Structures are given as C-alpha cells and as structure tokens.
Structure 1
C-alpha cells in the first residue's frame, strides 16, 4: 500500500509537452491554469495564442499572439497553483503553508496524513515536500470534492505522491491500516478534537500533528484534548503584510522631514536653496516607491502544533 510505482515518479521535465498543465501569466494578479492541447487556442485581451506553438518550449517562455500581445508560460508549482485553483472550499495560502511544512518537519520520504482535502492547496505543497519517495494520504468526506482533487493531482503529475480517499475522519477516524505509519498528520476540520485521538494512533513515535482552525474556541477545545497524549503544544497566527514596489513622482505623496516622499528609493541628491532649506534636485523625476498593498490579507486561521508523547 505504501510503495510508490517507480514508473510514475514526478516529472521534472522543463519543456512543455502536449497535455501538460501550464500557468498562463498575464500579470501578477491575472493568471490561469491551461491544459495544453495541440489543436486548441487561448483567446484573451492580448489576442489569439495557438497551443501548438507552445509545445517544445521551456517553461518560463514569453509567447506572442497573432496581434503581438504576449503572455508567459509558467510551470504549475504549488505556489502558483494555490493562486489559480478552483476554490471548492476556503484554502490555505503560502504564509500558512510554509509554516505547516516547517513545523511538521516534512522532508523527502515522509508519510503524511491529511484531513480534509478541500481544494487541494496544501496537498500539492505537501506532495512536493515528500517527493520523490514519500507519500501524502488525504481524506475528504465529500465525494465530489475528493474526485475533483484527484483530477487536479492527475493534471499536475502528482498522482504517484498523493492519494485521495473519501472518509469522514471526524466520525470514523483514520483507517487502521495507517496505524503507526505517519510521520505527521494535518487536520482541517470543524471539530478537530474528535479526530485527535485517532491521529495520535497513526503517528510514529515523536510524530507531529497540526490542526488548522479559523476560531479561537476551536483551538481551545483542541488543546484540551491534545494534553492527554501530546506535548510541546503551540499555536500561531500568521499575518502577512505585502508591499507594492513601483515607480512614482517625487512631487506627490506623503513627504518626510526633508521633503522626500516616504518610501522613495533611492534618495535624490539635495541642494541648498537661496533660502537655506534643503530641496531635492530635479524634484519631478521618477523614483522607485514602496508602500503597503491597499488590500492586505488579515486573519486566515490558527495553526496548532503538538508532538506525540514518547512511551517509555
């Protein structure tokens, strides 16, 4: 059950082939996943792009339309997939995912159990982290959602690394076949405390569990349950602040003590005016500006980690 098929190992080929999944990049906030089909076309505001012209080109290539417009063809990495996937459920984003993989101590060869699968955002990153010899076994109680996730993993070439099954982990627990086999367990459930006893049975000695919950009340109840068989219990909330870097004029915006816009890089040479004050030379010139994004993402959820107690 836990052996991987060597004929289906993840491919690291960097050239686009027919039936490959590519991420079509128009700009940082406009991307889409496209399956390459030799006889198909992509039509957008930049013109018409023939898939046949993409085949054989390396990922990252800039391709042109019939009207001279262009897009970039990027490899479907877990980071990009998180930004373009279909949201069947609320998903985990890169900031939370990175902490999950680090604190679960996931390395190549690990066996990871996950519940629930949802839209598969985390699963793709887990699969890459355990590659090429590990495996992710992910469960969702919703049959159609599990089927959609299975199709997505097939498109991305992750079928040999991630197995999707339909099961109500809260009500039934994890299958006994995985008892003592998991290096780590991840729970994204409305009542994670119901699954924690089963998760403890699945973990190897010194294994680690992570539970993601949007509400602090869920965290409190989960921690109470964890105390019996787990130690080193910690909860984190990740708040990410992104900055926009773009060109701007020196003669506008908020200014500091010396008349230069806050965040302007680099500082312009200043000269002393006839009145004796410092003024920027060529104040209407263009400089690089940095400012926080207007749409900052706030609270996503709480991540609770705990290590299984060793039995002496």
Structure 2
C-alpha cells in the first residue's frame, strides 16, 4: 500500500479506517475492491459482512459473516490492484510490470513519463517504485479514460505521486516542460515509433526507454527508429507459467497394473465407467502441483533502449537536446 504522506512509513499492518479501500479476498480467483463505510454491508455467497466489523482491524484480518462464512481483508497493493481493477484497456500483468521496473532502473525519486495510461495497472506499480519523492506523469489521448484513471488513483492513495494528462503523444509528443528532466519513459502506443523522437528529447543523458507492443511488426519498426539516437536495444517476451498446488489422494484401480493420482474421492469407493474397474482410496493425501489452465503470462513484447551520449567537448555536458 502507498503512503499518502511522505513521512508515513509503508505498512501493511495499520488498522482499517472508514473510507479505506480494501481488497476482499474470497478465494484465489475471486477478489474485489471495496470502500469501507460505516453502516454498509457486503453480501456474497458466504453471507453478509458488516463494514463496521472491519473498522479497527489490521489489514490481513480474517472476518466472519452472519452465516459463519469468512473472507480476508487485504491491503490494496499494486499487485492485488492489478487483479481487481476495471479493464478499460488491455493491461500489463505482474511478470511484465516487474520486468519493466527492473530494466528501466526505476527507484525512489525518479521522474517517469508514461503514454498511454489505459487502466492504470502499470502506473500503480510505477508510483510505488518512485515513492516517496519521485513522480509519474502519465498521458492518455482518451479523456474519459484519463478521468477514470484519476478516480482510481484517488482511491488507492496515489494522486500525490501521479499526474494524469490528456494528450495525443503520437501526434504532439510530450510537453516541452519535461525536456532533459526525465529518468525513464514507457510507451504503450499503437505506433510507438512516432513518439520515440520526442521521448529522446525528454530523457536525461543515459536515460532508459521501454516500448510495449503486442505485435512483432510494431517491434521491428520501433527498433528502426530507436537505432538513430538510442543504444543497447533489446526486446523480450516475458512468459509466466503458474502452478496450482492442491492435495490429492493416491488411488489404485483393480485390474490395472500400478496406480494413478486422482482428486480426493467423495466416497471411499467409486465405480468407474471404464471396463468396470473400481477405484479405492488406498493412501493418505499428497500435495501435488500442476500447471494452471488459465495462467496469465505473455501479453506482448517489451523493447528497451538507452539514450546515446554525444561526444563530449571541454566543459560540456552530455546531451541530445535539440538546439
């Protein structure tokens, strides 16, 4: 969770207050963001949960409903917010986001430019990376998306660290006020090669740029543009394979050689439709892991580059700014 005051330390253990945004964890594939309000309730399949019972509890608490069902109240970290936010556009997920922050060398105090904002998934993590003294300036050409993003950043307490602007970066470039002041630039645009010259002017000497593209043809054209003023150009495809871990029972089939692992049977004895075999539970539960069928992995290609430095003369600072 992001602190809204620079003097406030980041903590996941402070107690929930009225007006806080809480991630309600029902199960691993079911979470929702809820704003805490005295007198309000949350209703789901587990029963009715009173918000008044949440106030004063630390984040991470397990709370019970009127039917003795339960949920967990989690802090709205960037990782969890990425999983519950409204998808106004295609978003980047955790694997790509972490890779971007590492390769762009984003640390507290950095100034970062982003275009376009979209659903704000990456922006949320960028803001945490630059906190408490840095800032993220993000732009989207679509005014309503920008308005929705501002509302989300208010909810998550990031408005102090993020400024959302409405601007066509492909057509107009970044505002001149950022020339030579920016540590990193991130582009998520249909035609990123149109914005690369402007991005080069914004970056400090040796600054880094990343362009996200879903198609390899976009990558190829972007690299052609990058090679004029950038070096160390690299493209990555980040693949993530998630595994599901659960307990299963060791079972054996009469009439078959050996045994096989199946999910725990509801009864000790089950009749199989194949060859009339009978399956019996013959051992204790074991922990098994298998790949998830719907793992969120590849979303596109990430191209990174670093701004070249012009040869230095006596008492001259390395710069690529336009004369």
TM range (shorter): 0.7 to 0.9
1:308 aligns with 2:307: yes
C-alpha contact 2:93 2:296 (8 A) present in aligned 1: no
Question: Structure 2 vs 1, CA of residues 252 and 190 (structure 1 numbering), >3 Å: closer, same or farther?
Answer: farther
The runs of at least 4 aligned residues of structure 1 exceeding 4 Å deviation read: 6-11, 257-262
Q: Does the 8 A contact of 2:248 with 2:261 survive in 1?
A: no
TM-score, with length taken from structure 2: 0.84
Q: Which residue of 2 aligns with 1:290?
A: 289
Contact persistence 2:63–2:70 (CA under 8 A): yes
**Structure-1 residue corresponding to 2:85:** 85
Answer yes or no: is 1:55 the counterpart of 2:55: yes
- Mapped to 2, the partners of 1:236 and 1:208 lie a distance apart of 15
What residue number does 1:165 align with? 165
Residue 286 of structure 1: CA displacement? 1.0
Per the alignment, residue 245 of structure 1 pairs with 245
For residues 10 and 86 of structure 1, what CA distance do their matches in structure 2 show?
A: 28
Q: Structure 1: which 5+ residue stretches go unaligned?
A: 1-5, 263-281
Q: Aligned pair count?
A: 285
Q: For residues 243 and 234 of structure 2, what CA distance do their matches in structure 1 show?
A: 29
SS of the residue 1:249 aligns to: strand
**Paired residues of 2:232 and 2:306 also in contact (CA < 8 A):** yes
Q: Quote the residue 1:228 is aligned against.
A: 228
TM-score, normalised via structure 1 length = 0.87
Alignment partners' CA distance in 2, 1:25 and 1:62? 9
Q: CA 1:10 to 1:166, structure 2 compared with 1: closer, same or farther past 3 Å?
A: farther
The answer to whether the Cα contact below 8 Å between 2:252 and 2:258 also exists between their aligned partners in 1 is no
- Gapped runs of 5+ residues in structure 2? 263-280, 312-323
Q: Residues 104-253 of structure 1: matches in 2 within 5 Å? A: 104-251=104-251
User: Cα deviation per residue 1:27-86 (whole Å; 9 max; x = unaligned)?
Assistant: 000000001111211111111111111111100000111111111000000000000000
The secondary structure found in structure 2 opposite 1:251 is strand
The superposition leaves residues 212-243 of structure 1 with CA deviations (integer Å, 9 ceiling, x where unpaired) of 00000000000000000000000000111111
Question: How many Å apart are 1:307 and its aligned residue?
Answer: 0.2
Deviation at 1:261, TM superposition (A): 4.9
Aligned to 2:24: 24
CA contact (8 A) 1:63 1:73 kept: yes
Is the contact between residue 10 and residue 160 of structure 1 (CA under 8 Å) also seen in structure 2?
Answer: no
Are the structure 2 counterparts of residues 8 and 141 from structure 1 closer, same or farther at C-alpha, using a change threshold of 3 Å? farther
SS class of match (2:106): coil
CA contact (8 A) 1:244 1:293 kept: yes
1: CA distance, partners of 2:297 / 2:44:
32
What's the Cα RMSD here?
2.0
Q: Secondary structure at the match of 2:22?
A: strand
Q: Deviations over 1:12-31 (max 9, x none)?
A: 35211111100000000000
What CA distance in whole angstroms lies between the structure 1 residues aligned with 2:177 and 2:78?
A: 29
C-alpha distance in 1 between matches for 2:252 and 2:223 = 51
Distance across 1 between alignment mates of 2:110 and 2:303: 20
1:277 aligned partner: none
Residues 22 and 76 of structure 2 are in contact (CA less than 8 Å); yes or no, is this contact kept in structure 1?
yes
Aligned 8 A contact 1:9 1:160 in 2: no
Distance 1:150 1:287 in 2: 48
Matched residue, 1:12: 10
